[in-house]
C-alpha cells in the first residue's frame, strides 16, 4: 500500500486548506483508520484526525471546529479540509494508514 | 488530553553505544504506544506498535517495552543510520492521539 498527498502548496490566510490522499495498492474500504498528521517546519508531529472506512471520524479538539476528513470510495481517496487558516497552519501534512503507512508529505504554506 | 513527555530532548552518542529513550504518559494508556523514527526530509517510520510489537523490517537491535505510563525504546548498539529523531505516540481509545515532543539522537 502506498499513500500520496496532493493539493495546493500555498493557501491565503482565512482561506481553506484542501488536501487529498490517494491510496494505491490497497482499498480505502479496508478496515483501517486513515488519518492526517502535520509537522510545522523544524517542529514536532501533531495528530489532526482520522476516519474509518465506515465513515466514523475523530478529530483533535484543538482543530475540531475547523477540520473535516472525508472518504471518497469511488476514487480510493480520503481528504482533509481545514478552514479559516492562519500562518500557524503552515506545515508538512502527512496522510497515514493506521500507524504503519505514511505518505511522503506535502508542504502547505499559509501566506498572502 | 493525554500528554507524552520524552526524555532527554537530545542525546549525543557514538556508534556502538547502547541507548535508552524514555516516553512517559500523563495517564495510563495500557500498551497503546507507538514509536517512530524520522530522518531529515523523510516521513516518520514506524518502529513499534503496542509498545513492543516490532514493525516489519525493523532490526533486532531495536526493542520497545513498557505499559501504563512508562515506556522505553532501546537501541542495543547504535549504527550510523540510527541517528535521527524518535517520537512516541499514544494510541489509546482516547483521542487526540498525541505525540511526544521527540528525542534527537546525534553523533
Contact B45 A62 (CB under 8 A): no
* pLDDT tens string B6-44: 999 999 999 999 999 999 999 999 999 999 999 999 999
Q: Do A45 and B97 touch (CB under 8 A)?
A: no
Taking the C-alpha atoms of residue B83 and residue B106, their distance in angstroms, rounded to an integer, is 5
Chain centroid offset of residue A8 CA: 13
Local structure of residue A89 (DSSP, 8 states): G
User: Residue A24 and residue A5: Cα distance in Å, rounded?
Assistant: 12
Q: What is the pLDDT of residue A2?
A: 96
* Per-residue pLDDT at B93: 74
Q: Which residue has the cell 513498557?
A: B66
Query: Which of chain A's residues have a Cβ under 8 Å away from the Cβ of B100?
Result: 44
Residue pair B71/B51 in contact (Cβ under 8 Å)? The answer is yes
CA angle A68, A6, A54 (to 5 degrees): 40
For residue B98, the chain A residue with the least C-alpha distance is A47
Count of CB contacts below 8 A, A vs B?
48
Q: Which of the residues A99, A100, A105 would you substitute to probe the B interface, choosing the one with the greatest number of B C-beta atoms within 10 Å?
A: A99
**Average pLDDT across chain B, whole number:** 95
B29 Cα to chain A: minimum distance (Å):
16
Amino acid at each position: 500500500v502506498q499513500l500520496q498527498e496532493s493539493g495546493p502548496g500555498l493557501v491565503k490566510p482565512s482561506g481553506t486548506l484542501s488536501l487529498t490522499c490517494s491510496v494505491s495498492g490497497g482499498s480505502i474500504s479496508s478496515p483501517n483508520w486513515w488519518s492526517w498528521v502535520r509537522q510545522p517546519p523544524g517542529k514536532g508531529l501533531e495528530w489532526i484526525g482520522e476516519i474509518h472506512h465506515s465513515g466514523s471520524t475523530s478529530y483533535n479538539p484543538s482543530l475540531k471546529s475547523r477540520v473535516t476528513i472525508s472518504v471518497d470510495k469511488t476514487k480510493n481517496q480520503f481528504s482533509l479540509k481545514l478552514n479559516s487558516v492562519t500562518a500557524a497552519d503552515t506545515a508538512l501534512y502527512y496522510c497515514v494508514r493506521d500507524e504503519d503507512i505514511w505518505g511522503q508529505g506535502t508542504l502547505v504554506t499559509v501566506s498572502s | 488530553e493525554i500528554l507524552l513527555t520524552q526524555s532527554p530532548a537530545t542525546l549525543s552518542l557514538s556508534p556502538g553505544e547502547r541507548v535508552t529513550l524514555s516516553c512517559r504518559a500523563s495517564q495510563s494508556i495500557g500498551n497503546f504506544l507507538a514509536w517512530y523514527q524520522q530522518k531529515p526530509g523523510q516521513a516518520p517510520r514506524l518502529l513499534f506498535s503496542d509498545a513492543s510489537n516490532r514493525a516489519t523490517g525493523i532490526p533486532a537491535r531495536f526493542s520497545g517495552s513498557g505499559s501504563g505510563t512508562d515506556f522505553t525504546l532501546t537501541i542495543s548498539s547504535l549504527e550510523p543510520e540510527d541517528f535521527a529523531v524518535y517520537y512516541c505516540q499514544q494510541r489509546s481509545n482516547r483521542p487526540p492521539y498525541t505525540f511526544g515532543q521527540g528525542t534527537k539522537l546525534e553523533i
